[in-house]
């Protein structure tokens, strides 16, 4: 019988660390589902005080401006599937989630990591400027929630909640320069990428959705020279390399909707600027003409590497 990617990863890891394989099966049975929101529950979650959830950057001390090789920013935590992977890999994580109910769920799921300060959980939004903003939560598909009403709704019911908006530069100023910056915030990926212009030191790795050509060119101007264009529909088929090239060697099954492996652990070769320019340009043209169906053909994240 043909083995699944998760089973292959576990079989590989058994040669090195049998207890880790057993833990993985327990984790697969404990995958969390996002809580069902209502307008009332969102407002209650936003109003609830918590010692573990950071809702404003005001008053926090500044960090050093150097790149931290053990730090990852998870911009768009959602239910925590990516943060969970990064934490298990041994990285420190700053996770950003604008939805107060998902932030509260993350507080429960990652109680130990928050207590041990391996994880910092920010219930804020990321945009072009600072201030209060209305975050529109899709009450049926939480992953479509956005600060843009039309992006959040798509014909479904939504509820708005006010959260603090900050910039990527603000977060870098308070927590340091991450080794990897993962961005997945519906409709505002561009704001986060453009925010790097205010950061003298850039992350080694960056990823965001779709790889729009103007944002690709901006990364090139920032000094990123290697690129991968990864179909996110194929992420559940990814197998963690043994040994790992990034962080700790682990067995891990990526759920549907996860961002998947990053850096040198991500599948495929790093492509140079000219090769990727043609790929992202062609993808953008197909989407603009309506010749691309993400449901059938998948959706893509652009991964970028910068030599430091």
List the chain domain ranges: 1-30+224-287, 36-203
- What DSSP letter does each residue of 1-18 carry, written as one string? -PPPHHHHHHHHHHTT-H
Q: How far apart are CA 123 and CA 101, in angstroms?
A: 9
Q: What is the pLDDT of residue 14?
A: 47
Q: Provide the β-strand partners of residue 230.
A: 301
Query: Tokens 């219930």 sit at which residue?
Result: 123
Q: Domain 36-203 class?
A: alpha beta
**Pairwise CA distance, residues 103 & 100, whole Å:** 5
Alpha-carbon distance of 253 to 242, in angstroms, equals 14
pLDDT of the residue at 270: 98
Please name the helix (run of DSSP H) or strand (run of DSSP E) that holds residue 208, with its range, or none. strand 205-209
pLDDT in tens, the chain (308 residues): 555 544 544 454 444 444 544 454 454 444 566 667 888 888 888 888 898 999 999 999 999 999 999 999 999 999 999 999 999 999 999 999 999 999 999 999 999 999 999 999 999 999 999 999 999 999 999 999 999 999 999 999 999 999 999 999 999 999 999 999 999 999 999 999 999 999 999 999 999 999 999 999 999 999 999 999 999 999 999 999 999 999 999 999 999 999 999 999 999 999 999 999 999 999 999 989 988 888 788 899 999 999 87
**What is the pLDDT, as a whole number, of residue 47?**
87
Q: What is the pLDDT of residue 118?
A: 98
The β-bridge partners of 271 are: 227
| Torsion 137-32-238-113 (CA) sign | positive
Residue 22 has what pLDDT? 47
Q: What is the pLDDT of residue 161?
A: 95
- What is the C-alpha separation between 35 and 38, in angstroms, rounded? 10
pLDDT at residue number 3? 54
Which position has the token pair 């990864």? Answer: 230
């Amino acid at each position: 019988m043909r083995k699944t990617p998760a089973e292959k990863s576990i079989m590989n890891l058994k040669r090195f660390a049998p207890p880790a394989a057993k833990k993985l099966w327990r984790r697969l049975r404990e995958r969390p589902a996002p809580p069902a929101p209502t307008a009332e529950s969102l407002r209650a979650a936003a109003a609830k005080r918590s010692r573990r959830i950071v809702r404003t950057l005001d008053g926090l001390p500044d960090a050093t401006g150097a790149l931290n090789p053990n730090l990852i920013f998870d911009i768009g935590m959602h239910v925590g599937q990516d943060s969970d992977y990064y934490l298990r890999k041994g990285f420190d994580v700053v996770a950003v989630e604008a939805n107060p109910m998902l932030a509260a769920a993350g507080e429960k799921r990652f109680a130990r990591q928050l207590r041990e300060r391996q994880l910092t959980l920010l219930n804020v939004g990321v945009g072009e400027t600072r201030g209060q903003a209305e975050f529109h939560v899709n009450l049926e598909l939480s992953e479509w929630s956005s600060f843009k009403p039309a992006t959040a709704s798509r014909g479904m019911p939504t509820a708005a909640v006010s959260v603090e908006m900050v910039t990527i530069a603000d977060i870098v100023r308070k927590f340091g320069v991450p080794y990897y910056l993962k961005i997945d915030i519906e409709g505002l990926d561009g704001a986060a990428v453009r925010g790097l212009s205010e950061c003298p030191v850039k992350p080694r790795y960056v990823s965001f959705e779709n790889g729009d050509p103007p944002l690709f060119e901006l990364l090139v101007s920032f000094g990123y020279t290697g690129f991968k264009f990864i179909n996110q529909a194929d992420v559940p088929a990814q197998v963690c390399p043994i040994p790992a090239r990034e962080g700790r060697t682990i067995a891990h099954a990526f759920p549907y909707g996860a961002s998947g492996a990053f850096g040198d652990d991500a599948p495929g070769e790093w492509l140079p600027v000219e090769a990727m320019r043609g790929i992202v340009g062609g993808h953008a043209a197909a989407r603009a003409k309506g010749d691309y169906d993400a449901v059938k053909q998948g959706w893509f994240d652009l991964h970028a590497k910068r030599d430091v």
